[in-house]
Amino acid sequence: MRNSTFTVPSNAPEAWAVHPFDAPLGAQVVGLDLSQPLDDDTFRQVHRAHLAHHVLVFRDTRITPAQQIAFSRRFGPLQTHVLHQFQLRGHPEILVVSNIVENGQPIGLGDAGHYWHSDLSYVDKPSLGSMLHAQELPAEGGDTLFANMHLAFDTLPAALRRAVDSLQAEHSYLCKYEELRARSPWRPPLSAEQIAQVKPQVHPVVRTHPETGRKALFVSEHFTTRIVGLPERESAELLAQLFAHSVRPEHVWRHRWQPHDMVFWDNRSVMHLAAGCPDHLRRRLNRTTIEGDAPY
């Protein structure tokens, strides 16, 4: 499917199409109206395209938060973010990702995703996928980068691939939290209750995608703290090597946002990074996350 463009006029409500990017991942979907529930056949085609391309960009998507939630729920139950301060009022399933400050208060998480990561890898059932819907975009910057973690695994030197295949790693929400707080005016301190909600979890370093059976590297600089059973220095060196390999340019695609884009990525197949934008330019997006399986 990577090199094909397909148009689906059949029994879909209107003609729509998936156009793969000339890149290690990703495709854009044009002409699909997500404000209405998709019929089962159209939904199956979207699901298949998501598995094949790992990141789908739905162009010109004019939907409300409730419609984003309804579409996200077709893929599974939704997860709420531990930073409840930044849930959208009336819609706790939506995390507001924004650098906007109103009346001295941030309206969203301004520095979300400033290290490479897979969403919610620090919980027992990390996110299957996330949908990020553009509300306000800066005139400059604000891109999101994605790395194909299947390719990252497949292209490891064979001996390293065998060595990491049976390892486990710890993931913690707290891994970079204080570091981010030290340089970000937006990060609130965590309450004892919030800390209790994000106890570290252990997951395989290499996970098998539950729907495609493909293996993917599953460690990230944002949340992975150590390789279980390795001395500290050896663990840190191995993780640094895996992080650097994962984001080699040939594994990465950069999304440059257009108005009304909604991007839906597969957290079991990719990592992502928010590239950031100048502080004085407003950026606001609504994110839903769909619960996945315990990695194996």
Residues classed as catalytic: 117, 119, 272, 287
By beta-carbon proximity to ligand SIN, the closer residue of 133 and 156 is 133
> Quick one: 69 or 238, whose CB is closer to ligand SIN?
69
Which residues, at least 6 apart from 75, have a Cβ–Cβ distance to it below 8 Å?
47, 128, 129, 290
Footprint of ligand SIN on this chain (CB under 6 A)? Answer: 97, 112-113, 130, 132, 144, 272, 274, 285, 287
Q: Which is nearer to ligand SIN, 154 or 291 (CB)?
A: 291
Question: Considering the complex, what minimum distance in angstroms separates the CB of residue 112 from ligand SIN?
Answer: 4
- Give one DSSP letter per residue of 135-176, joined into a string: EE--SS---EEEEEHHHHHHTS-HHHHHHHHT-EEEE-TTTT
CB-wise, 95 or 238, nearer to ligand SIN? Answer: 95
Least distance in angstroms from the C-beta of 139 to ligand SIN: 16
| Least distance to ligand SIN, CB of residue 189, Å | 20
* C-beta nearest to ligand SIN: residue: 113
The answer to whether the beta carbons of residues 258 and 128 sit under 8 Å apart is no
Minimum CB distance to ligand SIN smaller for 42 or for 130: 130
Q: Shortest Cβ distance from residue 271 to ligand SIN (Å)?
A: 10
**Is residue 82 classed as helix, strand or coil in its secondary structure?**
coil
What are the start-end ranges of the E strands in 191-266? 201-204, 206-208, 215-217, 224-227, 252-255, 262-266
Cβ within 8 Å of residue 255, ≥6 positions away: 26, 55, 57, 143, 144, 145, 146, 261, 263
Please say which residue, 20 or 129, places its beta carbon nearer to ligand SIN.
129
Smallest separation, CB 113 to ligand SIN (Å): 2
Q: How far is Cα 226 from Cα 219, in angstroms, rounded to an integer? A: 9
Residue 59, burial from CB neighbour count under 10 angstroms (0-12, 13-18, 19+): middle
258-261, Cβ contacts within 8 angstroms, sequence gap of 24 or more? 258/59, 258/134, 258/137, 259/60, 259/134, 259/137, 260/59, 260/60, 260/61, 260/62, 260/134, 261/57, 261/58, 261/59, 261/60, 261/61, 261/133, 261/134
CB of 142 to ligand SIN, least distance (A): 7
